[in-house]
A and B are shown apart, each in its own frame.
Chain A
Amino acid sequence: MGGSLHGGIGLAGSDDAPGATASPSPSAIGLEELMGRLAQSGGVRARFRETKHLSLLTAPLVSEGTLHFAPPDRFARHTTHPGNASIVVDGDRMAMRDETGHRVVDLEGSRVARHFVDNLRVLMRGDLAGLRSRYKIGFHADGSHWQLRLEPRSRIVRRIVEQVSIEGRGAELISMENLETNGDRTTTVFFEVETGLDFTPTEIERLFSLEGPDDPQ
């Protein structure tokens, strides 16, 4: 732990949605300004550690890997532990690859799939309108600490997900927690973050290709 996904953002309390908590501060910036700065942050590379507390399992399931984001629409999550798996999102299409195979699915056609894989992409590109269309947003700031609380608007997603909390300190985005309606909980922390990256075409092809390893290029 100890890194931040986006650096250099001064934050303070803000209020976005009806019912959201607000903690005004003399030096606070609003949610719009935060998202605006995220939108200008360029490409991102970060490592993550994710811990899932699932009722099916006797012990938490921990996985690690790397995230990549190339604005405006490319996002990749490559898991390296406990096994190799990848999720790549490009526009409205998503490719998943794990030991069971490779599959390309439509994101727009499934709000559930979009919720599970697309929150970070929307956040990283500073898409406040996109965020608002999918969630009721609570934005809370207290001193150097801030929290974004997202409640799904979709009835179908609400059956599964209770809320998503994204926390930061100062200008740092530190963790994300996904709380499910059945009590299952997933916490992701980010570290070794690099921002302002400009990926080369070769890197784009290597990191964000929707094709499977055996698919024709």
Chain B
Amino acid sequence: MSDAGLRALTLGLLAALGLYCAARLELTHSITHFLPSEADPELVELSIQLVDSPLTRRMVLAVGGGPGRDAAAAELGEVLRSHSEVTWVETGFDEEAMRSVYELYFDRRIYLASDAPDTEIPRMLDAKHLQRSAGRLRSRLAQPASPAVSRMAPADPLGLFERILDRIRAAQPAISTGVGGFASSDGGHAIVLLGLRSSPFDSSRQAPFLRDLEQEFSRLAAAHGGGLVLEKSGVNQIAVASERSVRGDINFISAVSIAGVCTLFLLVFRSLRHLFIAILAPLSAFAAATAMALFTSPPLHGITLGFGFVLIGVTIDYPIHLMTHHALSPEGTRPRDTAARLRVSLLLSGVTTTLAFATLALSDFPGLREMGSFAAIGVPAGLALTTLLLPAFLGRGGTATPVQIALSAGLGRLVRWLGGHRGLAVAIPATCAVISAVGVPQLRWEDDPATLMAADPSLLAEHERVRRRVVDVDDGRFVVALAPDAESALALNDRIDSRLGDAVAEGHLGGVRSLHSFLWSQELQRENLAAFRSAPDLGGRIERAFSARGFRPDAFESFTQAVASPVAAPLRPEDLAGSPLERALDSMVRLDEGWAVVTSLREVRSGEGVRDALAGLEGAHYVDQQEIVTELYEGYRRSTLRMLGLASVVVFVVLQLRYRSLRRGLLAFLPSVLVALTTLGLFGMLGITVNVIATVSLVVVLGMGVDYGIFSVDGAQRPERLGATMSSLLVSCLTTIFVFGTLALSSHPALRAIGLTTASGILLALLLSPAVFVLASRATTR
């Protein structure tokens, strides 16, 4: 094919890939990408499913700031009710809701009397306790609300319905206020609770919804005279803000990187055409990797996309080497001849880099696997374009610019000078080794997964403020009842609630918020009925005790009739559906296999104490998400370091196979492994904490650093090309620094870790290259 045809083919392929990516681009920012997928599958699977469950598909809105807040909150709730993204809205617990609660529970009061029916109900029915109940009822009748009491008392002399109401009241997320709406516990804010139709991590739906919410509130606030303030708590707004932050970073980094690289190219090559040619390789790498990721497993994680910029730093090296060597080649050299001369070095470089990245595919992180696959697709794509298609874009050789000539000459002189001072050439890697030996033991590892995500501190503070006003439970710490079916899960939850009650009494935690306040297993409910029925002479006992306190002898016959022939069946989950208490069912989650009932915990003082309280209850788990994920991330960091070792071995073996010389293979290998260790050593000495992403970035350093070793060792075989080799390495390094330097400025901790680690590593690789060249020249001479 002619050069023109190859150029058209190249541009056509890129355009097609670009269009495909633009049409299919779907981003996610879910933390689930950073949850491990293999270890401890039951709890991890549970964690993943709970991250996107009805428990997270909700928001709490707090309206404060003025007397119009209650009305504004009520109106906001009404408006949101009709929004397509909103499945339910609760603004208060009105009289109709109370009526529904009465209808749900009054006829089932006998089923829901006691957590421990075998012991408590017989005690409730002994003469002493019955007389106390009679006295309490008489006291209630003396109060102004006696008309309501006297109507329920004949059917409920023991106050069983009141016990149920007390449990429900204690579990309400907010108190009720003067207009029948929810209010914060301090009374200063009107509260609106709402459910989301989509995943809170689906920014394409959550961002417009949050915008609509703000607009609607602004309109209502103005209508109520202004001065009102809306504060929100919800996973969705944190996820949207994080994604916005990542997008903003990516835009900023792209702009600065492109500007820096453009300036460098204009300075060195004095040609926009060369810049255009050089960019084709990373473009093809990025487009091919993105297209493949979108084709095989959409959506693409924001961090993976950020990692795509790493590819720019890797693959732009290939055309830089090609163009620099070609420009500095003898006049009239055909580009295909230059490419052919560099092909072995470029292929070796590409293969080692791809293999280093491919080790990431062995990670337990779905997100890291995606990164590994992304790189393993992109690097060969960029390399193939450079060696097969880019020569068609280049003219004849020997057209070096004055800057290239000066760089080549200057660097050549520098390396030759270093060749005359071999002790210094040895001292450079030796210094790196010393830094590694001193710094690595001082390293501080950071395994908290939250530190990988860039959440706006003010947003987190708002989230926490609102949550504390309404829901006084701990984030990320809960107890789960896991069982194969719903009834078994509820039965286990009954037992868990009892055990947690003991843990509260022992001071291990402050309290719980459980579905048990609303719903018990059928088994426990039937045990309650059986306990009442087994009481001998129930009617007579009640009559005697209550008559003694002035009640008519036949006043409570309807209660004994209700025990003998209940008018309702035990309460089931489906009975709560559609009722004002429907939201309680959100804590009952259907999993892929079985059911989970989640109990939220308040003020956990001793996780061990809670675990001990659950001992022996099969299927009951105390989950501290941060503790679990931190432990697992630590494991993954260690695993990634092992992969780094594996990648080193693979790269070393490939280099030995290529050079068939232990010394030259070792020298080519030196910039990669030594640079990785020195980078860690520097971090240790400077007190920079290292997280799992930084560890992964070391794999990138390994993959890129080996290129410097390969080009230096290969360059040593052709001393006349010394200047071209060193100047191409310098331009490659500066390009990488521009790209990764800006990543280090990112507000996203994961991107920042990638940038800082990789930029430091590549700079060290450049510093090591002259020493490798000198030491390899000696080996070649020998």
In the complex the two chains form, is B93's CB within 8 Å of A54's CB?
no
| B567 within 8 A of partner (CB) | no
Tell which of A55-63, A136-144, A193-201 binds the partner. A55-63
- From A52, A83, A106, A160, B148 is in contact (CB under 8 Å) with A160
Which of chain A's residues 167-193 have a Cβ closer than 8 Å to chain B?
178, 180, 182, 184, 186
In the complex the two chains form, is A92's CB within 8 Å of B141's CB?
no
CB-CB under 8 A from A110, the residues of chain B are 95, 98
CB of A159 to closest CB in B, whole Å: 9
Chain B 93-132, CB-CB to A under 8 Å as 1, else 0, gives 1110011000000000000000000000000000000000
| A8 within 8 A of partner (CB) | no
| A100 within 8 A of partner (CB) | yes
In the complex the two chains form, is B143's CB within 8 Å of A58's CB?
no
- From B99, B151, B176, B552, A160 is in contact (CB under 8 Å) with B151
| B147 within 8 A of partner (CB) | yes
| B583 within 8 A of partner (CB) | no
| A31 within 8 A of partner (CB) | no
Closest residue of chain B to A160 (Cβ to Cβ) is: B147
- From B99, B138, B144, A87 is in contact (CB under 8 Å) with B144
Chain A 90-107, CB-CB to B under 8 Å as 1, else 0, gives 011100101110001111
- From A52, A100, A111, A117, B139 is in contact (CB under 8 Å) with A100
| B438 within 8 A of partner (CB) | no
Would A56 and B142 be within 8 Å (CB), given that A93-B178, A160-B147 are in contact? no
In the complex the two chains form, is A109's CB within 8 Å of B139's CB?
no
Would A57 and B139 be within 8 Å (CB), given that A106-B178, A182-B151 are in contact? no
Closest residue of chain B to A109 (Cβ to Cβ) is: B180
Interface size, B (range): 20 to 34
In the complex the two chains form, is A82's CB within 8 Å of B136's CB?
no
In the complex the two chains form, is A56's CB within 8 Å of B98's CB?
no
In the complex the two chains form, is A178's CB within 8 Å of B555's CB?
no
In the complex the two chains form, is A92's CB within 8 Å of B178's CB?
yes
Chain B 642-676, CB-CB to A under 8 Å as 1, else 0, gives 00000000000000000000000000000000000
CB-CB under 8 A from A87, the residues of chain B are 143-144
| B154 within 8 A of partner (CB) | yes
In the complex the two chains form, is B153's CB within 8 Å of A117's CB?
no
CB of B493 to closest CB in A, whole Å: 26
In the complex the two chains form, is B141's CB within 8 Å of A106's CB?
no
Closest residue of chain A to B181 (Cβ to Cβ) is: A109
CA distance A165 to B46 in the complex (A): 62
Closest residue of chain A to B98 (Cβ to Cβ) is: A110
- From B135, B136, B141, B177, A52 is in contact (CB under 8 Å) with B141
In the complex the two chains form, is A111's CB within 8 Å of B552's CB?
no
| B179 within 8 A of partner (CB) | yes
CB-CB under 8 A from B150, the residues of chain A are 54-56, 182, 184
In the complex the two chains form, is A178's CB within 8 Å of B550's CB?
no
CB-CB under 8 A from A180, the residues of chain B are 147
In the complex the two chains form, is B93's CB within 8 Å of A55's CB?
no
CA distance A46 to B601 in the complex (A): 47
In the complex the two chains form, is B151's CB within 8 Å of A82's CB?
no
CB of B511 to closest CB in A, whole Å: 16
CB of B236 to closest CB in A, whole Å: 29
CB-CB under 8 A from A85, the residues of chain B are 139, 142-143
In the complex the two chains form, is B147's CB within 8 Å of A61's CB?
no
| B92 within 8 A of partner (CB) | yes
| B140 within 8 A of partner (CB) | yes
CB of B472 to closest CB in A, whole Å: 15
CA distance A182 to B154 in the complex (A): 13
CB-CB under 8 A from A57, the residues of chain B are 138, 141, 550-552
Closest residue of chain B to A92 (Cβ to Cβ) is: B178
CA distance A112 to B135 in the complex (A): 24
CA distance A113 to B145 in the complex (A): 7
In the complex the two chains form, is A117's CB within 8 Å of B145's CB?
yes
Which of chain A's residues 71-90 have a Cβ closer than 8 Å to chain B?
77, 79, 82-83, 85, 87
Which of chain B's residues 151-203 have a Cβ closer than 8 Å to chain A?
151, 153-154, 159, 175-180
CA distance A116 to B144 in the complex (A): 5
| A205 within 8 A of partner (CB) | no
| B401 within 8 A of partner (CB) | no
In the complex the two chains form, is B148's CB within 8 Å of A77's CB?
no
| B10 within 8 A of partner (CB) | no
CB-CB under 8 A from B92, the residues of chain A are 109
CB of A199 to closest CB in B, whole Å: 22
Interface size, A (range): 35 or more
CB of A164 to closest CB in B, whole Å: 11
- Majority secondary structure, A binding face: mixed
CB of B86 to closest CB in A, whole Å: 23
CB of A85 to closest CB in B, whole Å: 6
- Among A56, A87, A107, A186, residue most surrounded by chain B Cβ atoms (within 10 Å): A56
CA distance A50 to B151 in the complex (A): 19
Which of chain A's residues 25-58 have a Cβ closer than 8 Å to chain B?
50, 52, 54-58
| B747 within 8 A of partner (CB) | no
In the complex the two chains form, is A55's CB within 8 Å of B143's CB?
no
- Among A57, A59, A117, A180, residue most surrounded by chain B Cβ atoms (within 10 Å): A57
In the complex the two chains form, is A56's CB within 8 Å of B555's CB?
yes
- Among B99, B140, B143, B179, residue most surrounded by chain A Cβ atoms (within 10 Å): B143
In the complex the two chains form, is A178's CB within 8 Å of B143's CB?
no
CB-CB under 8 A from B522, the residues of chain A are none
| B146 within 8 A of partner (CB) | yes
CB-CB under 8 A from A79, the residues of chain B are 142-143
In the complex the two chains form, is B142's CB within 8 Å of A63's CB?
yes
CB of B641 to closest CB in A, whole Å: 51
CA distance A182 to B176 in the complex (A): 31
- From A56, A91, A98, A161, B143 is in contact (CB under 8 Å) with A98
CA distance A180 to B95 in the complex (A): 20
- Among B141, B145, B147, B150, residue most surrounded by chain A Cβ atoms (within 10 Å): B147
CA distance A161 to B138 in the complex (A): 20
CB-CB under 8 A from B145, the residues of chain A are 96, 112-113, 116-117
Closest residue of chain A to B96 (Cβ to Cβ) is: A156
CB-CB under 8 A from A98, the residues of chain B are 139-140, 143
In the complex the two chains form, is B143's CB within 8 Å of A96's CB?
yes
Closest residue of chain B to A161 (Cβ to Cβ) is: B147
CB-CB under 8 A from A105, the residues of chain B are 176
CB-CB under 8 A from A108, the residues of chain B are 177-180
In the complex the two chains form, is A61's CB within 8 Å of B552's CB?
no
CB of A161 to closest CB in B, whole Å: 6
CA distance A178 to B95 in the complex (A): 22
Closest residue of chain A to B154 (Cβ to Cβ) is: A56
In the complex the two chains form, is B550's CB within 8 Å of A186's CB?
no
In the complex the two chains form, is B178's CB within 8 Å of A156's CB?
no
CA distance A58 to B147 in the complex (A): 16
- From A59, A77, A100, A161, B550 is in contact (CB under 8 Å) with A59
In the complex the two chains form, is A156's CB within 8 Å of B139's CB?
no
CA distance A82 to B550 in the complex (A): 13
In the complex the two chains form, is A56's CB within 8 Å of B552's CB?
yes
Closest residue of chain A to B553 (Cβ to Cβ) is: A58
CA distance A99 to B138 in the complex (A): 11
CA distance A116 to B159 in the complex (A): 20
CB-CB under 8 A from B95, the residues of chain A are 109-112, 156
Would A56 and B147 be within 8 Å (CB), given that A92-B178, A109-B176 are in contact? no
CB-CB under 8 A from A77, the residues of chain B are 144
CA distance A61 to B147 in the complex (A): 13
CB of B434 to closest CB in A, whole Å: 61
Q: List 28 A-B contacts (CB under 8 A).
A: A56-B153, A57-B141, A57-B551, A57-B552, A77-B144, A79-B143, A82-B139, A83-B142, A85-B142, A87-B144, A92-B177, A92-B178, A93-B178, A98-B140, A99-B139, A105-B176, A106-B177, A106-B178, A108-B179, A108-B180, A109-B92, A109-B95, A110-B95, A113-B145, A156-B95, A160-B148, A161-B147, A182-B150
**Which 4 pairs, one residue from A and one from B, show the smallest C-beta to C-beta distance?**
A92-B178, A106-B176, A109-B180, A116-B144
Given contacts A57-B550, A117-B144, could you give 12 more A-B pairs where the C-beta distance is less than 8 Å?
A: A56-B551, A58-B550, A79-B142, A79-B143, A82-B139, A87-B144, A91-B178, A99-B136, A105-B176, A109-B98, A182-B150, A182-B151
